[in-house]
Amino acid sequence: MNAEERRLKNIARYEARVRQVKRIKRTMIGVAAAAVVGIVAIVSASGRKSTKAEQTAELNQNNTVTPGAGTAAVSATGTSEAVTTSSASSDAGTTASAGAGTASSSAASAGAGAVSSSAQVDTGVFGTVGRTIVMAANEGEKVVNTPKYIWASPKGATEGNVNDPVPENDPSLMEGKEKIIYLTFDDGPGKYTEQLLGILKKHNAKATFFVTNQFPEYQNLIKSEAEEGHSIAVHSYLHDYKTIYAGSDQYWDDFEKMQQVIEDQTGYRTELVRFPGGSSNTISRFNPGIMTELAKEVEEKGYTFIDWNASSGDGEAHTSRESVISDSEKQCSYSDTSVLLCHDIKQSTVDAMDEFLTWGEQNGYTFLPMSPHSKACHQKINN
């Protein structure tokens, strides 16, 4: 099964899951309504209504909701949406088990009075489950749990999560419906990454960071990237072509070292990867056939490798802010779904982002993080 057939199959499975969730939701709403009617009758018979303080105390004791892992909510504009789920035992990263938008409410355990329980989800992270909110009517909100995050499988790619049904919140579902730019940044984090995160936040734009350990003093920014709703992906630990392309064992040794850094910073692994130089690189030809071998192994292990179909031009030795803006605008104009290659270790690139993002907004583009189901833009392998 090729990538496109797999993507269509996943979408079909997802749509079936949505229909099932809707049926469950309608059933649960009916059950909850019946329970509320029963409670009202009991309260009326006793001739006494619970006070707000009693309601809140009982709510906090009995109605804590644990969100199902992986229930991220990403809209076309990158704004957060509320979802609810009753799955306390779901493994993190398995969005299909909870189903974004499913609801479970227990009016009997909540006590009399209007009660709302929801999982408020942070923006744009593949796998962010946000924080659980328990709220009684007119009593404000209380944060009771803060799960972890990452657009990835916490168990690693060998679990095959990339083949699970496409979750409702997956950014890839916007492809063909909206004009999308997947901003991708290689080689960091570095000394300009924090500045870049501020610019992205200003524009509510999401990106994908293909990270390395070239500058270990900036490792902590990987955590910041994930927390702010960006996807995290493996690029390389050493980013040394001679070492990582010396053989399959050497590549996977480097890969696992970078995965460990990501896991140390975020708590999870990632299913996304970009080969240094891209899959079409020729610098690896000192070891004939290595890219063909690695591309096959990556997919066999369940990872998704990402290339690009647009470039900011910042891979050259000398680039200016103006050239990055010009090249990025021109190349992203060629497609309604662009994967733009950039480097957050280049000051000229970071300095260009504010103006480029403004151009994108004015021309109707949405900046989303990538998922394993996103357009991978595989190039022709030359080795």
Retrieve residue 252's tokens: 């996977």
Separation between Cα atoms, residue 216 and residue 223, nearest integer Å:
13
Number of H helices, E strands in the chain: 11, 12
Terminal-residue alpha carbon distance, the chain: 23
3-state class (DSSP) for residue 183: strand
159-172: buried (b, 16+ CB within 10 Å) or exposed (e) per residue? bebbebbbbbbbbb
Residue whose token pair is 């690029």: 235
Strand runs (DSSP E) across the chain, as ranges? 82-83, 115-120, 131-136, 141-145, 179-186, 207-212, 231-236, 272-273, 304-305, 310-311, 337-343, 365-367
Closest CA to 132 of 124, 140, 122, 143: 143
Pairing of strands 131-136, 141-145: antiparallel
Provide CB contacts within 8 A for 22, sequence distance 6+. Answer: none
DSSP one-letter code for 310: E
The phi-psi region of residue 169 (left if phi > 0; otherwise alpha if psi is between -120 and 50; otherwise beta) is alpha
Catalytic residue among 170, 186, 254, 314: 186
3-state class (DSSP) for residue 353: helix
Catalytic residue among 230, 235, 343, 373: 343
Residues 319, 380, 210, 253, CA torsion sign: negative
Active site residue 186: yes
> Cβ of 6: how many Cβ atoms within 10 Å?
13
Active site residue 343: yes
Which residues are catalytically annotated? 186, 343
